[in-house]
Amino acid sequence: MNASTNLTQTLEESEFGTAVVDDFLEPGEFSEIREHLVGHWAWRYKNWTNGYLHNYEIGTGALDAVAQRLSAPLSRAAGRPLRRITQWAILAHADRGLIPHADNGTFVVNFWLTPDEYNLDPASGGMVLFDVRRPDDVMSPEFQITPDSDEYVSSRTRGGKLEVPYRCNRAIIFDATVFHASLPISFASYGAYSKRLNVSMVFDDPELFDARRERGLSGYGKAAQP
């Protein structure tokens, strides 16, 4: 991974609180994580009519190692101790984007795992970040993936955005308060191994993470849980 020494400084200086890191995983890590996820048992139980399949049962030793080495630079950038709170994988079964949303956390680490040869449009398939951030007092349904989150961004943006095209083994490490969305996707349809696959890790202070979640639950009921 090329991240380390300059990661904290990059995150602090970026307008969008973002660092883009190519060749993020070492070759052995990449192979272990990709092979583990592409053939993962949990995909068999997903609703394949959905455009995006979420999988939270993705633990591997390689992912643990990645989280461990990111904790220190992300903690320095935040000015307080952070640890990995949660993680998930997403398989983009349908070729369409995802509407703007923010995440419950301090930083999110998102990295892509499908070889570039399956991406039919190298200019797209990635992520766009907007010049809108969620305040701490906003309830979770307003920043999760709902029509409310789309309206929240469109009513507050000044037009600034950062587009990061898809590249295999590229990571986007960003401030979780920044609203972001998936760009339109055009990947080959040869099976799960050819569709866009990514992992997201959330780093946060556990007490702050739980407090944001509880505010959402108390304000909107249990259906609002992120």
CA distance 105 to 114: 26
Radius of gyration of the chain (CA): 17
pTM across the whole model: 0.88
**Number of domain units in the chain:** 1
Q: Of 57, 21, 9, which Cα lies nearest the Cα of 173?
A: 21
Spell out, as residue ranges, where the chain has pLDDT lower than 70: 1-5, 97, 138-142, 145-147, 215-226
Helix (H, G, I), strand (E, B) or coil at 55: strand
First-last CA distance in the chain:
30
CA distance 105 to 5: 22
CA distance 62 to 1: 13
Q: What is the pLDDT of residue 48?
A: 72
Question: Residue 176 belongs to what domain range?
Answer: 4-224
Spell out the alpha helix ranges (H) of the chain. 7-13, 27-38, 61-78, 140-143, 147-154, 206-220
CA distance 97 to 203: 24
CA distance 152 to 95: 25
Helices and strands per DSSP (H, E), number in the chain: 6, 10
What pLDDT digit, counting tens, does each position of 167-208 carry?
A: 999 999 999 999 999 888 999 988 889 999 999 999 999 998
CATH code: domain of residue 52: 2.60.120.620
Measured over the CA atoms of residue 63, residue 86, residue 141 and residue 131, the dihedral's sign is: negative
